[in-house]
Amino acid sequence: MSQLEGLMKDHFIEYASYFILDRAIPELRDGLKPVQRRIMHTLFKMNDGRFHKVANVIGDTMKLHPHGDASIGDALVVLANKDYFIERQGNFGNLLTGHSAAAPRYIECRLTQLALDTMFHPTLTEMVPSYDGRNEEPVALPTKLPVILMTGAEGIAVGMATKILPHNLPEIWKAQIAVLQKKKFALYPDFAQGGLMDVSGYEDGAGKIEVRAKIESKDRKTVVIRELPFGTTTEGLISSIENSVQKGRVKISSIDDFTTDQVEIELSIARGSDAKEVIPQLYAYTDCSVSVSSNLNVIDNRKPVQMSVTAITLALTEALKNQLKRELEYDREQLIDRKHWLTLEQIFVEKRVYKDIENKKTSDAVRKAVWDGMQKHKKLFVRPMVDEDVLRLLEVRIRRISAYDIERNRKEIEDIDRKIKAIERKLKNMVKTTIDYLQGMLATYGEQYPRRTKITEIQAVDKRSVARQNLRLSFDKKSSFFGTEVRGDLFKLTVSEFEHVLGIAKDGTYRVMNAPEKVFFTGPMIYGELFDPDRGTEFIVVYRDKQKMAFAKKIKIEKFIRNREYRLIKDKGGRVDLLLSSDQLGTVHLDFVPAKRQRLKEADFDLAELEWTSPTARGVRIAPKPIGKVKLIPAPEAKGKAGKAKAKPAGKGKAPDGSSGSSSGSSSGKGGQGDLF
């Protein structure tokens, strides 16, 4: 078992490492995942200026990629739709509508000029054998672009994920110039879909952003969506709007999608509403407003690391400076090589060294004659001559010697000297050289990539304030169910999904709910009204326990857990007789349960004597004996007030012992008033 456990552990670590390093997470240096790098390398090898069938590109890439053709095709389409590196011809799908690309045999592609100018340098590219050893592939492309920030990336690996949002390319170049000039900078995402964006929570790539669709009011009854939030499509957005319409959250009568290469979704507003009311609802309840999180994990030096946008910009700027230095040094070496050869050729011809080999009969003697003849003029050498130079001089044809142009040769050497001096000036100040390069890129390509997503301050929509009262509640006395799916005649309410409802039953149980679909009350419901959690609701409760002893208490219901059942009566088996508002005072008249030799048959209790207590408290015992009937006698000053709501008993029916427990008034609670008023 221990051997198997060790074997599984080793294999899992190898699998996880492969998945993280060679599949899902992009490389910091060139910003590409392995499959993307293989596609780019293949397109560069195939490049002849013409378009290539995507199917052919996939086939050639499979020589380097150990996985299937579908993964290559999907990656190529995604990379092409970034609009930076691959020029498209044919149907590559639509980012706006979500439609997929045509089959690879029908579409064509080639590298863009931007990619050819910045992504490749074969002699400075480190190569390794492919998975089967038959070909070579690059470890990383020697790019001079901030690919990982400009394209963004998403990937899920073993125990790790990355989500890098795309940024605006000219803005990244300006940020890199600011880095070189040691100035402050800030970078924010930019999306192909456009839209509006709030970056207050971006936190240098470690937070999230709020993205919204661009919605215009065409007229009072019509709104048009012009741009989409990042990560959505027109189909998904329309689906979210339809769902909200079905739930009654947004009043839309029809949806028309006219999207082509530009988004245009026209929404007709239903009767009874207008654009001013509907637009906030669209942001609150549909995908017109989404939150996007960022998680910057990249591969650096064959290790996964978490970085910020600033750290990546600094690293890419330093990498750009080093890459430009390497290319300048390479160009200088090439020029020195060319000057070295031109100088040798000049000496060989002008000094007539070739004459020394006319009477030599062996190859060794010929090489020695050339070597000795050239060494006489070694002060003119650019660098020491080697054996390969002798062989190359011996390959110079007689025609070349006879047509040799001394002036042209000297002019070319002078041009090379000027170029070498220019390169050395650049190498002495790489900061200025890098800034000049970035400014040149801005001048050449800056206008091709304008910012598409507008940065603005987005005020969060309070869903409570824009919510429609579209949920109808009622109580069915026969089934004792209350909710939106109940068809009853009692406690009819119309509420929004965010409003709370307080329901109290005859047995003293109560709940605070958010418009339930269907909830059961063990006793008949005697109260059902809107409930304000911030203010609470105050009551005077008069009840009898299972021994028919009467109690009263003044309470305030304010602390609660939604949908949890609470009890106003401590012991089961009791019943609420009166449920009054806290300011509805008077006298409670109590008739005792008849008994033999009973001299005292009734009692009165003044509700003004009650003190505040908690809803779960037993309350004040208001009579010394079991009670058969409870009746409220209103205070004298309240009797003559016109329009004053009268207190109602908490229901009629049999008392627990079978005697009548009814009091004057009705207990139907119709109209949602319950027994409070």
Give the span between the Cα atoms of 579 and 540, in whole angstroms: 6
Pair type for strands 86-89 and 108-111:
antiparallel
Beta-bridged to residue 266, according to DSSP, are: 224, 256
First to last CA, the chain: 75
Residue 287: partners with Cβ closer than 8 Å, 6 or more residues away: 213, 229, 232, 236, 237, 240
Cβ neighbours of residue 144 under 8 Å, at least 6 residues apart?
118, 119, 320, 323, 324, 437
Residue 188 known to be catalytic: no
**Would you call 165 helix, strand, or coil by DSSP?**
coil
Contact 471, 248 (CB under 8 A): yes
Distance of alpha carbon 490 from alpha carbon 581, whole angstroms: 20
Distance CA 568, CA 441 (A): 75
- Cβ-count burial 290-306 (b if 16+ within 10 Å, e if not): bebebbbbbbeeeebee
Q: Which residues pair with 303 in a beta bridge?
A: 300
Phi, psi of 225 (to 5 degrees): -90, 120
Classify the phi-psi angles of 650: left when phi > 0, otherwise alpha if psi is within -120 to 50, otherwise beta.
Answer: alpha
8 Å CB contact between 178 and 184: yes
For 17-48, give the secondary structure using H, E and C.
HHHHHHHHCCECCCCCCHHHHHHHHHHHHHCC
Alpha-carbon gap, residue 190 to 173, rounded angstroms: 14
Tokens 């910091």 belong to 28
Read off the amino acid at residue 584. Q
* Cα 93 from Cα 129, distance rounded (Å): 34
Torsion of CA 568, 574, 578, 581, to 10 degrees: 0
Task: State the virtual CA torsion across 394, 397, 402, 408 in degrees, nearest 10.
Answer: -80
DSSP for 74-118 reads HHHHHHHTTTSSEEEES----TTT-PPPPPTTT-EEEE-HHHHHH
Quick one: residue 30, left, alpha or beta (phi over 0 = left, psi -120 to 50 = alpha)?
alpha
Taking the C-alpha atoms of residue 281 and residue 286, their distance in angstroms, rounded to an integer, is 8
Do residues 40 and 141 touch, judged by C-beta distance below 8 A? yes
* Residue of 18, 84, 106, 566 with catalytic role: 106
Are 216 and 223 in contact, with CB atoms under 8 Å apart? yes
Facing residues of 660 across strands?
Answer: 654
Distance CA 653, CA 664 (A): 12
Residue 660 DSSP class: B
The Cα 368–Cα 389 span in angstroms is 12
Report long-range pairs for 336-339 (Cβ below 8 Å, ≥24 apart): 336/382, 336/383, 336/420, 338/416, 339/382, 339/413, 339/416, 339/417, 339/420
> What amino acid positions are annotated as catalytic residues?
106
